[in-house]
Amino acid sequence: MSLPLSGRHVALLHGGLSAEREVSLVSGRECGAALERLGARVAWVDAGRDLAQVLSRVKPEVCFNALHGEWGEDGCVQGVLETLGLPYTHSGVLASALAMDKAKSKAVLAAAGVTVPGGGLYDRFEAARDHVMKPPYVVKPNAEGSSVGVFIVHEGANRPPQELATPAWTYGEQVMIEPYIRGLELAVGVMDGRAMTVTEIIPRTGFYDYEAKYAEGGSEHIVPARVPPHILEKATQLSERAHAALGCRGVTRSDLRYDDVNDILVLLEVNTQPGMTPTSLVPEQAAKQGVDFDRLVLWITEDAYARGDAGGIARTGETPGQSAR
């Protein structure tokens, strides 16, 4: 029996240079295995600075981008792939760069009518010397993901995180500082412009940090979220609007906070290359919609082929995404 990607040559980009390298290796392992089960001929590429030269030698038909974080998710690798004329998964150069830059993406989202937190960018040394806003607040790198380098400064804290002023801080000279939004952690996957469902996340570590996201048992996921119907609807609407406003394509994941006391829903950020690990939210949401992991990977790959006009993958006349719904 012919497999959906039988004989197709796919470069699986994973690893990379960012602080999220280990997560990318896991996402890559899962996606690469799925591609092979689907019949693809997979070239496993640990993406380094020589990526253009490696891909010129490999000559894939399409690139499955399983990179996370700086360089792989912020438009840089996307620019390399555009220059090489290779179709690739997920969002393009501009959307990737915008979504990774928290300050710029918040400005775009606010202009599109998406409710986002207040706050702004501050010099990291200034932010370490004294509170730049009244606690509680959140300190985060302006261009990282997976909760890398994130601190919550709680009410009554004597001083800000001193890690910001140390040589060990490698996440940029400016940090995003936002008011802390109490309440529930929510996430919405968007596929082909349409929201899948809303997940409520209960972290075991106090907040949804790196360990809570990727360690086995680090958090509990409740699908659909236990929130009022109007919040379920609003979360999906805001996530779809954010996906469109940033110019995203393929699959994204929006992270939100819901203050259930004051009935306030805020969208924190959009992830243009959401995790594809065994504990990741998007594959879990897809499964709840009847789309198993292999079919999700197939749709993401087909979507890249369709945009690159590579042709050749048998399609049934459905619009992108219908075959995986």
pLDDT at 311 over 90: no
Q: Which CATH class is domain 120-179?
A: alpha beta
Annotated active-site residue 262? The verdict is no
Cα–Cα dist 140/244, whole Å = 24
pLDDT of residue 213: 47
Annotated active-site residue 137? The verdict is no
**Which entry of 8, 20, 171, 185 is annotated as an active-site residue?**
20
Annotated active-site residue 142? The verdict is no
Annotated active-site residue 269? The verdict is yes
**Which entry of 28, 271, 294, 295 is annotated as an active-site residue?**
271
pLDDT at 212 over 70: no
What's the order of all strands across the beta sheet hosting 251-259? 219-222, 194-203, 184-191, 251-259, 264-271
Annotated active-site residue 259? The verdict is no
Residue range 114-120: mean pLDDT, rounded: 95
**Where are the strands (E) in 168-231, listed by range?**
174-179, 184-191, 194-203, 219-222
Annotated active-site residue 255? The verdict is yes
Chosen CATH of 98-116+182-271 out of 2.40.30.10, 3.40.50.620, 3.40.50.300, 3.30.470.20: 3.30.470.20
218 pLDDT band, cuts 50/70/90, is low
Of all helices (H) and strands (E), which one includes residue 57? helix 51-58
Annotated active-site residue 214? The verdict is yes
**What average pLDDT is seen over the chain?**
90
Amino acid sitting at position 164: L
**Which entry of 124, 253, 257, 295 is annotated as an active-site residue?**
253
pLDDT of residue 147: 62
How much is the pTM? 0.87
Annotated active-site residue 146? The verdict is yes
Are the CB atoms for 99 and 272 separated by under 8 Å? yes
Delimit the domains of the chain by residue range. Answer: 9-90+279-324, 98-116+182-271, 120-179
pLDDT at 10 over 90: yes
| One fold for 98-116+182-271 and 120-179 | no
pLDDT in tens, 166-185: 999 988 899 999 999 999 99
Q: Which CATH class is domain 9-90+279-324?
A: alpha beta
**Which entry of 101, 185, 255, 303 is annotated as an active-site residue?**
255
